[in-house]
Amino acid sequence: MTLREKCPVLYFSDLGDERGKLVVIEGGQAIPFEIKRVFYIYDSDSAVVRGQHANRESEFVLINVAGKSKVRIKDGNEEIVVELNKPMMGVYIPKMIWKDMCEFSKDSVLLVLASTHYDGNEYIRDYYEYLKEINS
């Protein structure tokens, strides 16, 4: 499976009308897991690189609900960059995939849906440790 197939870009339906747009994301339907946690990142600027980790247990969907950012994704084999620039698009990140978030626009609000509650111990923050674990 290619990295783009492992980390598909998802498009959500826009139920908007003349009053404005409305995007609905239901756990287990538009995204492939039940949502246990939501967090969002804003006020990061174009020089900041966030993430720089892989998760042993968590799956995520990242959505720029305002502004834009880029997600650099690696699996130890391939590398892809996905630009998130529409409130109705997201990218799915499965377990054990390395990700960096960067090039945030000033108005970027990056919404993250996660399949788990937070547990700092399931994060791998050292790229060499990550490579060791995926190759073992």
Kindly determine how many residues on this chain lie close enough to bind ligand TYD according to the rule CB under 6 A. Answer: 6
CA dihedral 54, 56, 58, 63 (to 10 degrees): 20
Residue with tokens 């108005």: 107
Q: Which CB atom, from 14 or from 45, has the smaller least distance to ligand TYD? A: 45
CB of 2 or CB of 55, closer to ligand TYD: 55
Residue 10's closest CA among 69, 92, 95, 108? 92
> Does residue 117 have an active-site annotation?
no
- Which position among 6, 50, 56, 68 is part of the footprint of ligand TYD (CB under 6 A)? 50
CB 57 within 8 A of CB 116: yes
Active site (catalytic) residues? 53
| Contacting positions for ligand TYD (CB under 6 A) | 37, 39, 41, 50-51, 118
